[in-house]
Structure 1
């Protein structure tokens, strides 16, 4: 085998030595006190964003899933908030001037409940005082005076009417229809027979008198009604004045208490007027009240007094510092609150006591944390949140009222001033989406807090990582970890990061390994987690998710998928791809074949012709054309056509990581020199023939290794990778062991020349010379064909 370019075994994985830890197990060290580490950029940004007070400096925390950004954000916010100012209490009360627009009142922390209790006590005292006043001797005396004045006037009117009727020799009789006038004869009512026996002239005279007297009776009745109405008004005014006098001192006491609170004074003034106007509510009488006082007077006497209740919306009695709210379901009503309804007489009715707070009410004066994906899944939430942050006003609306299928009696609560710091948490895609398409985004979220997916693998970060493991084991009640196990986890972290010089910040993924390694140690009855338990945890994780990978390897082993791992073939090579199945990625070898023939079409991408090629793959093949023309078409055009394809693929092929692989197969076909089928290749190439790095290098190597192992390792097999990807190696132990034993090989190359020599065993100059010779022959053939066409 060609030893040139082989990657030393010590570079195949980031091997951290257990002896570099100054302890035996994590029991001997201190737990990490910080919630997160290795995110200095994010820490500085969030520190700034939380402390700046100007409007618009809300935060958007960006980072990969599982990096701990939500946990860190919440912990950091609470750390800052505990030293903040406790915000105001808020409550809603009845608006006596505009009943459909409840009034919002604010109080210093803990005072809203005090105000509620004072109003509740006031209502009880009002009821007691008003009833007592109406039962007093003074009120009874005044009531009798009103009635006596009424009776005297009415009696005088009726006496005058009786005298008038008597003077005209008529009488008055009460009937079911009212009062009727009757002519008299000799002091007794005239009978119908007597009336008929009278001459016509006398009957006409009596009828005329009867009409005149009826008119007087009607007028007397009208005057009595006016006097009765006046009496009712006088009586009502007497009661109002009695209620006003009786309650004045009670309201005056509260006015003194809230003398500095103008809005409360306005409310108390309206309440006092309303109490006086609706004194009947405190009498215990139910007569004729319901019609004028709905919907507040439905039910028992307690419900009738609902207008005098206080609905405490936000109570900061037990608050310490500024509030912190993490809203996990940011629907519109969960953010902005809602007004509940109840069924009443075939419609849905409500009142100010049914106003419920949302997350913005509870976090007002503090901090609100929301997952961006959850927020954007509720479009109205995002639009209304933007409006609230721009106007700095918290307005509660029933957004579904227009779509209601039944009639509703709605209310519009008074808006509340909004002073909240919103922290959105999301991935880079959502951030860039909002930044590009929402013109208000940068005005409202001026602070970007960016979490990195990895950190430097420095001694300091390794020490902090050990402290993180200690803290997590204590929190999750796991077994302590031996330093050998910890070294394996650090190496696995570098593999996840895709760089031997880095550690991954996907703490959620690493925490799964901690939990499962502890589990397997407990199953063995161990008291400490060892390196074998970490390996078992990783193997079990893979086993649970690698069914598809195993099926594909079986198909390769039995020949269903055609991949050669031995021998030499012209124009045929093994390329490597990575398949992603949820959270599991694995490498799969693909046979790539090339056919070259006389023509002027250049390189034909069969995948593109079949609409199975992505833009990046197409670009890679165009680069091949550039390389070939630059290398072999300096003195004459390329008289060649070539077809390239991934055999037995039926889905979209994209990416340029196989462009160098395709170039090697193309050079093999043109030169007629065979390629070793035991070597798989990955890496892109530029027009200068330089090999460029690719992603998924570990999965690609391991994918080909396991296929070779399935078909039988010969010691002649291996993978060729770009030299820049050596730092990304973090291969599994069985692969590393096979390389150490010489049963498998890893090469790194910088140029096409280096790669073709490893694949063919021939020098690059020899290969290129054969290509030139083949192209010259093809060019001569092309000229002859052209000449023959011209002669014809």
Structure 2
């Protein structure tokens, strides 16, 4: 059952650069597709093609896999073929100002309405004052005023004449009209009036009383005359305004002819302009005390009373147009052919033509649904329709909205708000403050907008399954999952695609081109990152980082292209920057602070291997595992010390329990085992989890049972099942290199090596120094399929196979282990028999209490 070590040429799969026909990546075309992601492409095609409720998309995959860029690149090809969606504008509601009206317009025409209304008001500011100051208008106005004055003067003149006939004067005072007696043309003073005979005084008083009654009746008619006068002035203004406004709006109304909702609003604008014609009276200047100015002030006060809370003193603000969504082609064309998140930011949130593609980097409730802003005015917060700010859902309506799922879930109320919008299929602006009853400021209730947008969430797999299991709405609203592959097969076709991907990255990141050796080394690093010599990693962020660092090194050296040497130097620099903890770990072992043997033999002691991950760096670290055994009480019990002290995780505990199952099934199948054993990771002071050390623990246990020493120059990794089969584990390269580094520091002897599961042989992508040592015969990697093979390698003797007679071969490791277990069982039976024959205390018959004395 001898196991041959892995040949050196299988420890590292080099890329065959002779398959590349280019000299540098500058000669290659960009790769705009998704390498090895056919499943994702199918999901995206289906998700963007189906237009039914709930078929939104969740793109899931590891961080750094380039999900954002890949989805944007795909959508850019889809959206360009779609129709540009409508523009949306908010305008004033002249009957209910706190409920602004939302108007849907053709793409690019929202700004036409805004500009048209601005031109209309500017024209009226000039036209109406000039008309009001024209000779024709002034003559008609003067005629109305003169008729009013004449009527008023005539009435008072008749009363004055009647009073004078009775020697009574009608006087106009600051307080109003007054009647006073007259004698010889002069008004009598009070003292002169009192000197008149009593009969004359009574006559005069009676006359004045009668005239006062007539004066009061006359004054009662004055408001009616004023009202009639004002009405005639308004009729005149309306007549002038109707002709002027209708003529001014003719072109604007023709531009939107056929759009019923726009025509209706323009009709309301026209009626309001006619009603408030006086607002324009002083728009182009004039005397402060002019009649027009007074009319304007009155009309502005009336407007503010009706409007209720306009945020600006400008009386013409009510006629403005708030373009919430502008889908004009010019606003969304960038001319780019490949897309990144930065491209979206540079383009104002939009990519390409056709339907909008928007990525919301900060998905708060307000940034998604929009908000109504307020302005301080005279100690209060006021608002109007011009302060309505659109959200990402407004701008992406009719297209595609990308959101990072984790960022969305971190924002209070945002997730529920998005679900409400999707379910209702309309966009209602909501305020978080009002939702939580924290704000009582007067605000607006804008018209809801119909929502037709494809939501694309991006996140990792854990988040996707967490939402699937815990949010019942998630599966209803996000029915399409686009699952990114972590890795693809390493074959000639994909090597060439990877080379084109490297070329695209060089152009996007403005890097020097890679030569063939540099491309080959990047492909090899990708396999190392995938921990599989037969795979390439699709997690591109670490690869792009490595390319950027290699570019820096090449430029510093004055090179014109990036070669394998530059990539190797970048890898070494990455390791060196993050290597402090690994160096401290190696130092503690080489100084014998942490006890690890790399030479000699020990019973019940083996070197297990684990991987420590610290941020962006991971490295292998050997650990001493020891086992002790003794007679038990009728069962095979293996005590996991890590579990007993709450340092072992559930998977590690499972691995230890599997050891008990293997021992029970392998030895003394017809006799109850009487063994108690303990297994522990020595000098381990943190949590331990995973089952990759279960084979090492089993070897230590068998060694302790058989009292067979284990060669300390070998280290072990691999999990084991109850049948004794050694199973694959992760991090095999780091684990091998971690033990190799210890052996190098202490000196290679040629008898050192690592036992790995045979299934991990295809994952080997070891460092060159490890490969060189294996090639020189100074280090070995042994692929083990079964525990028996590992026993023979570690203990220098065959494990043994049970023969037809039911026994293991004499002298084999398993025979020695079974003999000792049989001795445990025999001793346990004799102990139990003595206990049955002895006193009730359970002690042997000839034993006595520990505190008894002779002769007592």
- TM band (smaller chain): over 0.9
Match of 1:363 in 2: 396
How far did 1:253 drift? 4.3
- For residues 192 and 485 of structure 1, do their structure 2 counterparts lie closer, same or farther at Cα, with a shift above 3 Å needed? closer
After the TM superposition, which of the residue ranges 71-80 and 249-258 deviates more from structure 2? 249-258
After the TM superposition, which of the residue ranges 715-724 and 600-609 deviates more from structure 2? 600-609
2:2/2:789 contact within 8 Å kept = no
1:683/1:691 contact within 8 Å kept = yes
Q: Which of 785, 789, 795 does residue 750 from structure 1 map onto?
A: 785
Provide the rounded CA distance (Å) in 2 between the counterparts of 1:607 and 1:637. Answer: 26
Q: What whole-Å deviation, never above 9, does each CA across 1:575-620 have from its counterpart, x for those lacking one?
A: 1111110121111111111111223371111111211111111111
Q: Does 1:573 align with 2:592?
A: no
1:133/1:243 contact within 8 Å kept = no
How far did 1:255 drift? 3.4
Q: Which of 288, 294, 315 does residue 304 from structure 2 map onto?
A: 294
Match of 1:102 in 2: 100
SS of structure 2 residue aligned to 1:275: helix
Match of 1:737 in 2: 772
Q: What whole-Å deviation, never above 9, does each CA across 1:64-105 have from its counterpart, x for those lacking one?
A: 122222111111111111111122222222221221222222
- For residues 558 and 134 of structure 1, do their structure 2 counterparts lie closer, same or farther at Cα, with a shift above 3 Å needed? same
How far did 1:314 drift? 2.6
Q: Which of 517, 529, 538 does residue 484 from structure 1 map onto?
A: 517
Q: Does 1:762 align with 2:809?
A: no
Q: What whole-Å deviation, never above 9, does each CA across 1:674-698 have from its counterpart, x for those lacking one?
A: 1111111111111111111111111
Match of 1:374 in 2: 407
Provide the rounded CA distance (Å) in 1 between the counterparts of 2:308 and 2:830. Answer: 108
Q: What whole-Å deviation, never above 9, does each CA across 1:690-718 have from its counterpart, x for those lacking one?
A: 11111111111111111111122111111
SS of structure 2 residue aligned to 1:578: strand
Q: Which of 494, 508, 531 does residue 461 from structure 1 map onto?
A: 494
2:26/2:513 contact within 8 Å kept = no
Match of 2:340 in 1: none
Provide the rounded CA distance (Å) in 2 between the counterparts of 1:619 and 1:193. Answer: 125
Q: Does 1:652 align with 2:652?
A: no
Provide the rounded CA distance (Å) in 2 between the counterparts of 1:51 and 1:767. Answer: 66
Q: Does 1:441 align with 2:474?
A: yes
Provide the rounded CA distance (Å) in 1 between the counterparts of 2:515 and 2:184. Answer: 132
Q: Does 1:417 align with 2:450?
A: yes
Match of 1:624 in 2: 659
- For residues 312 and 633 of structure 1, do their structure 2 counterparts lie closer, same or farther at Cα, with a shift above 3 Å needed? same
1:571/1:594 contact within 8 Å kept = yes
1:26/1:466 contact within 8 Å kept = no
Provide the rounded CA distance (Å) in 1 between the counterparts of 2:216 and 2:69. Answer: 87
1:613/1:654 contact within 8 Å kept = yes
1:97/1:270 contact within 8 Å kept = no
Match of 2:235 in 1: 237
How far did 1:204 drift? 7.5
Q: Does 1:682 align with 2:682?
A: no
How far did 1:725 drift? 0.9
Provide the rounded CA distance (Å) in 2 between the counterparts of 1:472 and 1:540. Answer: 21
After the TM superposition, which of the residue ranges 378-387 and 683-692 deviates more from structure 2? 378-387
1:157/1:224 contact within 8 Å kept = no
Residue correspondence of structure 1 range 154-173 to structure 2 within 5 A: 154-162=152-160, 165=163, 170-173=168-171
- For residues 789 and 165 of structure 1, do their structure 2 counterparts lie closer, same or farther at Cα, with a shift above 3 Å needed? farther
Aligned residues: 790
How far did 1:189 drift? 5.0
- For residues 186 and 571 of structure 1, do their structure 2 counterparts lie closer, same or farther at Cα, with a shift above 3 Å needed? same
The Cα RMSD (Å) is 2.9
After the TM superposition, which of the residue ranges 746-755 and 526-535 deviates more from structure 2? 526-535
- For residues 474 and 577 of structure 1, do their structure 2 counterparts lie closer, same or farther at Cα, with a shift above 3 Å needed? same
Match of 1:147 in 2: 145
2:311/2:382 contact within 8 Å kept = no
SS of structure 1 residue aligned to 2:314: helix
After the TM superposition, which of the residue ranges 740-749 and 429-438 deviates more from structure 2? 429-438
Q: Does 1:310 align with 2:308?
A: no
Residue correspondence of structure 1 range 493-532 to structure 2 within 5 A: 493-532=526-565
1:347/1:409 contact within 8 Å kept = no
After the TM superposition, which of the residue ranges 561-570 and 406-415 deviates more from structure 2? 406-415
Match of 1:789 in 2: 835
Provide the rounded CA distance (Å) in 1 between the counterparts of 2:312 and 2:814. Answer: 103
Provide the rounded CA distance (Å) in 1 between the counterparts of 2:308 and 2:643. Answer: 77
- For residues 625 and 208 of structure 1, do their structure 2 counterparts lie closer, same or farther at Cα, with a shift above 3 Å needed? farther
Provide the rounded CA distance (Å) in 1 between the counterparts of 2:467 and 2:309. Answer: 50
Q: Which of 646, 650, 655 does residue 615 from structure 1 map onto?
A: 650
How far did 1:214 drift? 3.9
Match of 1:178 in 2: 176
1:105/1:264 contact within 8 Å kept = yes
Match of 2:83 in 1: 85
Provide the rounded CA distance (Å) in 2 between the counterparts of 1:767 and 1:230. Answer: 124
Residue correspondence of structure 1 range 225-374 to structure 2 within 5 A: 225-284=223-282, 285=293, 286-294=296-304, 303-315=314-326, 316-318=328-330, 319=332, 320-374=353-407
Match of 1:68 in 2: 66
Q: Which of 630, 640, 643 does residue 597 from structure 1 map onto?
A: 630
TM-score normalised by length of structure 2? 0.86
1:616/1:654 contact within 8 Å kept = yes
2:99/2:444 contact within 8 Å kept = yes
SS of structure 1 residue aligned to 2:715: strand
Provide the rounded CA distance (Å) in 1 between the counterparts of 2:472 and 2:90. Answer: 35
SS of structure 1 residue aligned to 2:626: strand
How far did 1:661 drift? 1.0
Provide the rounded CA distance (Å) in 1 between the counterparts of 2:202 and 2:82. Answer: 98
Provide the rounded CA distance (Å) in 1 between the counterparts of 2:311 and 2:451. Answer: 38
1:25/1:480 contact within 8 Å kept = no
Provide the rounded CA distance (Å) in 2 between the counterparts of 1:574 and 1:104. Answer: 73
SS of structure 1 residue aligned to 2:733: helix
After the TM superposition, which of the residue ranges 554-563 and 344-353 deviates more from structure 2? 344-353
Q: What whole-Å deviation, never above 9, does each CA across 1:442-494 have from its counterpart, x for those lacking one?
A: 22222211110100112110111122223333444444434333333222221
1:36/1:68 contact within 8 Å kept = no
